[in-house]
Chain A
Amino acid sequence: MKRVQGLGAAPGVVRGTWIRIDPAQAPEGGRIAPEAAAGEVERLRAASEAAGVELETIAGRVDADGHADEAAIFLAQASIARDPALDTMAAGRINESGEDAVAAIQAAAGSFAKQLRSLDDELLAARAADVLDVGQRIARRLSGTPDAAGESLDRPAIVVADDLPPSVTATLPRERLLGIALDGSSPTAHAAILARAYGIPAVVGSGDLLRTLRVEAESGRAAELAIDGGTGEIVIDPDETTRARFDAGAEDERRRHSTDLREASRPAVTLDGVEIALLANIGTPDESDDAVALGAQGVGLFRTEFLFLERTDPPSETEQLAAYERVVRSFAPYLVTIRLLDVGGDKPIPYLPIGDEANPFLGVRALRLAVTDPSLFVTQLRACYRAAAAGSLKVMAPMVADAGDVDLLLSLAKRAREELAAENVAMGEVDLGVMLEIPSSILVGDSYFRQITFASLGTNDLLQYTVAVDRGNARLERYRDSLHPSVLRLVRLAVEASERAGIELSVCGEMAGDPAAAVALAGLGIRSLSMAGSSLPAVRRAIRSVRLDDLESAMAAALEDRSASAVRSRFEALLAEGARS
């Protein structure tokens, strides 16, 4: 048994045989006669174009697997393959130094990679690997060399290599890829990012793994490898004890995940029989499937900013409609709650003239933009009403302070409906509601709750606006816990006002995904919680382990507590007790 320590790059524990994958043989460069230069430059351009097309094809495949962010890696590589700067440098070498296209493109890519490494920036240095990867791909197209060398992954195994180019990582057959262990690379390299996206355990930067494996293999050992992608531990020929330890770790993970999936269909009911609805917060349509598998009973918060950011003009109604319909269909028959655009001066958008603001979180943000730019919101509401033809949905406005903001929301919605009716476009029912994230919206809830059908507490901003603390300010850590007694009192006011008006109330802040806070909210009278999909299993178990009457008594005392930590210990104690019995 031998140990090699690397860096954990993608969590998970696995044990099995291994296969060494070597980088594709780098084609040998050569020299050409001066009169052949023009033809050689042409050959280079065709190969670069072919490499660009291949990379776009890989990007398309990764995207189709549901990994849009990772697909962007290959689109960037395609852009490098087609970069005139790379071409110009390589063509220069062909024309002036008499190198052939293979030698020239390798040298040009090497020169750019060296420049990136010299920038003293870990992320950009990791991108140097992309540039070399692209250069070798073009060189292989020029020389007709296959893309992977060494053994092929023809049986389930852990892949070991010095480094794995992202294009190889993305194209390894995933059903046979047990894990990845690399001598080089870094946790920020694309190979690691891809491994995390695909849920494959990976250890990188182990330095000495290939050499140790070779030495061991020469003595007839190194039959098996065990890797822990969380801690970075690699064990060659693990002994009985080590095997048992890794197997137990892998088994724990499998059990946890299958338990989560199995329990997903169980209702979140307290021991004394009160059910809490558990919903998911999502930021893109891609997150729907995992949330559905983990038992989300709908979407309590669908953030729509992904449609609006990183572009120079607003998304069209049709583009929004497609995104909303996709989520509505994934969750049917459960309801989806769409949040209207929530942006402000902290993250200005080219097509929104917000201007410089000293305090963007207290400035013209979200619904407040509709005063000067109603069309942006009318278009979004039109897309919502049209998506509702595929299944009912709810729409809520962020950044509502008082009844005046609700009047604005209702008038925008009316305009959207009237326009669609006049154009004879099909639409469906939309429930209108508000986010409660500004304390005033709760304090004057009675003045407008009857005009809407639901409200949802955005506890992150509610905390920030109540205690006047910027969430991003690390020096104000003490105020970061949403279980602050002031927030609890505001939630209680919201519960009371919503009961008087007969409207639904839910919580969609991070508080809902924190087991101790989630049961505390139940103790305050909240019956609907929306959270990141990954938080659903733990919150479900927490709710099923406690009695509502215990939560209510604990909450009565908690409302008198002097600090969030005092409140937290009460509910953590209840959960600990629930877990024991």
Chain B
Amino acid sequence: MITRDVVFHDRYGLHPRAARLIQGSLDGFSAKVSLENLEGDHSPVDARGMLALISSGIRSGDRVRITADGADEVAAIGSLGDLLESGVDHPDVRL
């Protein structure tokens, strides 16, 4: 079992579209992956669960702990961790 702490960035918070990106980043991995909001008193939630994600109360700027457990835990945590670090915000298209 491994963990990685990241800061969540999305000015709209963890909304359904962001949750779908999180689910997508775990497609094809078998490890159990959870997310825990480290700000305040929260329990870890299933990173593949839409309802769990959107009701996790994770907001932009919150520290989040990813925990992965399984044969491909390293790759799974890498995929999700990289996504969260890069931010799931809507692209701010600039000229």
CB distance from A220 to the nearest CB of B (A): 45
Instruction: Determine if A116 is an interface residue (Cβ-Cβ < 8 Å).
Output: yes
Instruction: Determine if A478 is an interface residue (Cβ-Cβ < 8 Å).
Output: no
Complex: A350 Cα to B83 Cα, angstroms = 6
- Chain A residues with Cβ below 8 Å from B64 are none
The A88-134 residues at the B interface (CB cut-off 8 A) are 112, 115-116, 119, 121, 123-124, 127, 130-131
Contact indicator A76/B13 (Cβ below 8 Å) = no
Contact indicator A85/B51 (Cβ below 8 Å) = yes
Contact indicator B49/A84 (Cβ below 8 Å) = yes
Instruction: Determine if B70 is an interface residue (Cβ-Cβ < 8 Å).
Output: no
Instruction: Determine if B62 is an interface residue (Cβ-Cβ < 8 Å).
Output: no
Contact indicator B50/A72 (Cβ below 8 Å) = no
Instruction: Determine if B55 is an interface residue (Cβ-Cβ < 8 Å).
Output: yes
Mark each residue of chain B from 59 to 82: 1 if its CB lies under 8 Å from any CB of chain A, else 0.
100000000000000000001001
Contact indicator B51/A123 (Cβ below 8 Å) = no
The A290-348 residues at the B interface (CB cut-off 8 A) are 301, 303, 305-306, 309-310, 312, 342, 347-348
A137-145, A247-255, A264-272, A456-464 - the one binding chain B: A456-464
| Among A121, A306, A350, A508, contact of B95 (Cβ-Cβ < 8 Å) | A508
Contact indicator A310/B91 (Cβ below 8 Å) = yes
- Chain A residues with Cβ below 8 Å from B89 are 347
- Chain A residues with Cβ below 8 Å from B91 are 305-306, 309-310, 347
Instruction: Determine if A400 is an interface residue (Cβ-Cβ < 8 Å).
Output: no
The B15-73 residues at the A interface (CB cut-off 8 A) are 15-17, 19-21, 23, 25, 46, 48-52, 54-55, 57, 59
Complex: A460 Cα to B50 Cα, angstroms = 38
CB distance from B74 to the nearest CB of A (A): 15
Complex: A283 Cα to B57 Cα, angstroms = 31
Q: Which of A72, A85, A115 has the most CB of B within 10 A?
A: A85
CB distance from B18 to the nearest CB of A (A): 9
Complex: A305 Cα to B95 Cα, angstroms = 11
- Chain B residues with Cβ below 8 Å from A116 are 54-55
Complex: A73 Cα to B91 Cα, angstroms = 18
| Among B25, B55, B92, contact of A347 (Cβ-Cβ < 8 Å) | B92
Complex: A165 Cα to B93 Cα, angstroms = 31
Contact indicator A312/B79 (Cβ below 8 Å) = yes
- Chain B residues with Cβ below 8 Å from A461 are 94-95
| Among A79, A112, A115, A310, contact of B88 (Cβ-Cβ < 8 Å) | A310
Contact indicator B13/A124 (Cβ below 8 Å) = yes
Mark each residue of chain A from 428 to 469: 1 if its CB lies under 8 Å from any CB of chain B, else 0.
000000000100000000000000000000111100000000
Contact indicator A75/B20 (Cβ below 8 Å) = yes
Known: A123-B12, A348-B86. A303 touches B55 (CB 8 A): no
Known: A119-B57, A127-B54. A85 touches B12 (CB 8 A): no
Give the residue name and chain of the A residue nearest to B91 (CB): A309
Complex: A131 Cα to B50 Cα, angstroms = 10
- Chain A residues with Cβ below 8 Å from B79 are 312, 350
| Among B12, B19, B95, contact of A301 (Cβ-Cβ < 8 Å) | B95
Decide if the interface of chain A is mainly helix, strand, loop or mixed: helix
| Among B50, B55, B83, B92, contact of A312 (Cβ-Cβ < 8 Å) | B83
- Chain A residues with Cβ below 8 Å from B55 are 112, 115-116, 119, 124
- Chain A residues with Cβ below 8 Å from B20 are 72, 75-76, 79
Range, interface on chain B: 20 to 34
Contact indicator A85/B52 (Cβ below 8 Å) = yes
Contact indicator B87/A347 (Cβ below 8 Å) = yes
CB distance from B77 to the nearest CB of A (A): 13
- Chain A residues with Cβ below 8 Å from B25 are 312
- Chain A residues with Cβ below 8 Å from B46 are 84-85
Contact indicator A76/B93 (Cβ below 8 Å) = no
Contact indicator B95/A127 (Cβ below 8 Å) = no
Complex: A347 Cα to B88 Cα, angstroms = 9
Contact indicator B50/A76 (Cβ below 8 Å) = yes
The A486-515 residues at the B interface (CB cut-off 8 A) are 508-510
CB distance from A138 to the nearest CB of B (A): 13
Known: A305-B91, A347-B92, A458-B95. A76 touches B86 (CB 8 A): no
CB distance from B46 to the nearest CB of A (A): 7
- Chain B residues with Cβ below 8 Å from A75 are 20
Contact indicator B95/A86 (Cβ below 8 Å) = no
Instruction: Determine if A80 is an interface residue (Cβ-Cβ < 8 Å).
Output: yes
Instruction: Determine if A83 is an interface residue (Cβ-Cβ < 8 Å).
Output: yes
- Chain A residues with Cβ below 8 Å from B17 are 72, 76
- Chain A residues with Cβ below 8 Å from B87 are 347-348
Complex: A130 Cα to B87 Cα, angstroms = 24
- Chain B residues with Cβ below 8 Å from A123 are 12-13, 15
Give the residue name and chain of the B residue nearest to A306 (CB): B91
Contact indicator B13/A112 (Cβ below 8 Å) = no
Give the residue name and chain of the B residue nearest to A308 (CB): B91
Instruction: Determine if A26 is an interface residue (Cβ-Cβ < 8 Å).
Output: no
Give the residue name and chain of the B residue nearest to A284 (CB): B93
Contact indicator B49/A83 (Cβ below 8 Å) = yes
Complex: A273 Cα to B41 Cα, angstroms = 70
- Chain B residues with Cβ below 8 Å from A306 are 91, 93
Provide 23 A-B residue pairs closer than 8 Å at the C-beta atoms, listed in order of the A residue: A76-B50, A79-B50, A83-B50, A84-B49, A85-B49, A85-B51, A119-B55, A121-B57, A123-B13, A124-B15, A124-B55, A283-B93, A305-B93, A309-B91, A310-B88, A312-B83, A342-B94, A347-B92, A348-B85, A349-B86, A350-B85, A458-B95, A459-B95
B residues lining the A interface (CB < 8 Å): 12-13, 15-17, 19-21, 23, 25, 46, 48-52, 54-55, 57, 59, 79, 82-83, 85-89, 91-95
The 4 A-B residue pairs with the shortest CB-CB distance, nearest first, are A76-B16, A350-B82, A460-B95, A79-B50
In the complex, besides A115-B55, A121-B57, 5 extra interface pairs with C-beta distance below 8 angstroms are A80-B51, A84-B48, A121-B59, A283-B93, A310-B88
